[in-house]
Structure 1
Amino acid sequence: MTGKDVSGVAAKAAELLRLHREPELLRVVNVWDVISAKVVAGVEGTTALATASHSIAASRGYEDGENIPVGEMIDEVARIVAATELPVTADLEGGYGNAAETVRRAIGVGAVGANIEDQLKPLAEAAAQVEAIMKAADAEGVPDFVLNARTDAFLKAGDRDPADVLADAVERGKAFLDAGAPVVFVPGVLSEGQISTLSEAFGPQRLTVIGLPGLPSHERLAELGVARISYGPLSQRVALTALAELTESVREGGGIPAGTRALN
């Protein structure tokens, strides 16, 4: 990137970080291509965009779980970044074998934040990965890069005691914060009590959650000190459900639903 490009990316990263630090909950509906990005960005009040790796992979014919080549993922992130003036954070799964290098490449196309999964690697290794990512971002001239360091403690809990799972999530999240991550992502079906414990352990505006059914209201999440709520592949599922319902309606002699918007 040129010096001008670096300063622009750095400014957007600072803005994204500010949005996480505000007491108001940052609400992000995830996107997977240019048209979904334009639709979400065009809704009044949208302040940032986040990609969904699962959704990008699915749209290109790959199963989730780092089956999409990293180059294809970065290419799609680049298209989304180019389609909006809003800050964009990219879901980059576990980093495709080299998380720091993958983040460096994402910054190169204008991303100013990223989700990186810990995949329950040994804690020292996972924390070192976080530190390497933040050092890479700093070296690229983007010290405010918003790494949303994800722990899979709840997603991979199996039949473990929930108290032990919560304790692991707290330990891993605190280690990631100590390693330089500005926020920690703990996906899963979390109770209000679990969210409160995580938020108290990490500090205000340091926790990200996913908007699964059963979560407390947005207002309550803000009261608990949550920084951000995102929706991962759920937004694509909503869109594809609407497409399936249209297909069913057409098959039965119906047509386009009333209220359909011209969004492209």
Structure 2
Amino acid sequence: MNPARQIERAQRLLALHDRKRVLLLPNAWDAGSARLFDDLGFAAIATTSGGMAWSLGHADGEQLPLADILAATRRIVGATQLPVTVDFEGGHGATAEAVAANVRALISTGIAGLNLEDGIEHRILRDVDDAAARIAAARAAAQANGVPIVINARVDVWMVGGDASDDVRFADAIVRARRYLAAGADCIYPIGLADPAMIERFIAALDAPVNIGARVGLSALDELQRIGVARVSSATRLATIAYSAARAAAVNWHDSGRCDGLDASFGYVDMQRLFT
């Protein structure tokens, strides 16, 4: 990608975090889904590590080889004129130095942003110093490449916090979030944080852009905007909806032998239009 164009996309993505309006981020898993979301009028696109991994024959959780991530990301970036931010999990490296090298490779695909998470294999939390060092390494890699990517630091205390109370999780999350912002993160993603009052407390305590995960029952958009949510991402949900719809149609076809469940409201001609 032209460097000036990539820088413009990164700057555009960062500007969308001004909290004047909630940024809705659909998470694509391939070029087709990215092109579809682009056509719907979203302002930016994210990727889902789970959806991307499944589409390429792997489980989620840094099981997809880096080379495949880079190739898939390059196709997604090439399918849209919108800024693309990539779910990069823990950075796919054992050390901060390895994360920096991987981020440099990811930047070469044309991305405008990325996620880095502080959970390990969805089981335990990474030491906060290590997690902050990885974010600092990613920021340094971006600066060395001259691309001001938007770093979204995921805080996993509500996902892998064990039996800790919400108050303990909250206090830990704030400590982690402040360290990550100081290390170079632009936005904080407290994945799993669901209580509206606690979301509002979290945002007030940080006074920084916060990403919330979309889910059934999430507060209405105007309420999220009122409390200062910067962005809402869909994570794996759109991918699992797509797989769920395909599975339901296939089950019906397999069990009944009838083709009446194979009609689609958005069909071949519609998808072809997106690429012509």
Give TM class, smaller chain. over 0.9
The residue aligned with 2:91 is: 95
Within the alignment, does 1:256 sit opposite 2:252 as a pair? no
The residue aligned with 1:138 is: 143
The residue aligned with 1:113 is: 113
RMSD: 1.5
The residue aligned with 1:170 is: 174
Residue 257 of structure 1 and its aligned partner are, at CA, apart by: 3.9
Separation (CA, whole Å) in 1 of partners of 2:132 and 2:193: 24
Residue 22 of structure 1 and its aligned partner are, at CA, apart by: 4.0
- Aligned with residue 129 of structure 2, among 124, 135, 153: 124
Give the conservation status (yes or no) of the 8 Å contact 2:6–2:110. Answer: yes
Give the conservation status (yes or no) of the 8 Å contact 2:152–2:189. Answer: yes
Separation (CA, whole Å) in 2 of partners of 1:130 and 1:88: 18
Q: Which amino acid aligns with 1:129?
A: R
The within-5 A match list for 1:149-188 is 149-188=153-192
Separation (CA, whole Å) in 2 of partners of 1:57 and 1:222: 32
Separation (CA, whole Å) in 1 of partners of 2:76 and 2:265: 27
Residue 56 of structure 1 and its aligned partner are, at CA, apart by: 0.7
Within the alignment, does 1:57 sit opposite 2:85 as a pair? no
Structure 1 gaps, min length 5: none
Give the conservation status (yes or no) of the 8 Å contact 2:19–2:225. Answer: no
The residue aligned with 2:39 is: 42
Separation (CA, whole Å) in 1 of partners of 2:193 and 2:237: 14
Separation (CA, whole Å) in 2 of partners of 1:71 and 1:21: 33
Structure 2 gaps, min length 5: 120-124
TM-score under structure 2 length normalisation: 0.89
Give a deviation string over 1:198-220, Cα, whole Å, max 9, x none: 1112215x100111223212211
Separation (CA, whole Å) in 2 of partners of 1:152 and 1:36: 27
TM-score under structure 1 length normalisation: 0.93
Aligned length: 258
Q: Equivalent residue of 2:29, what SS?
A: coil
Within the alignment, does 1:234 sit opposite 2:242 as a pair? no
| Identical-pair percentage | 34
Separation (CA, whole Å) in 2 of partners of 1:102 and 1:209: 26
Separation (CA, whole Å) in 2 of partners of 1:11 and 1:259: 35
Give the conservation status (yes or no) of the 8 Å contact 2:136–2:184. Answer: yes
Q: Equivalent residue of 1:64, what SS?
A: coil
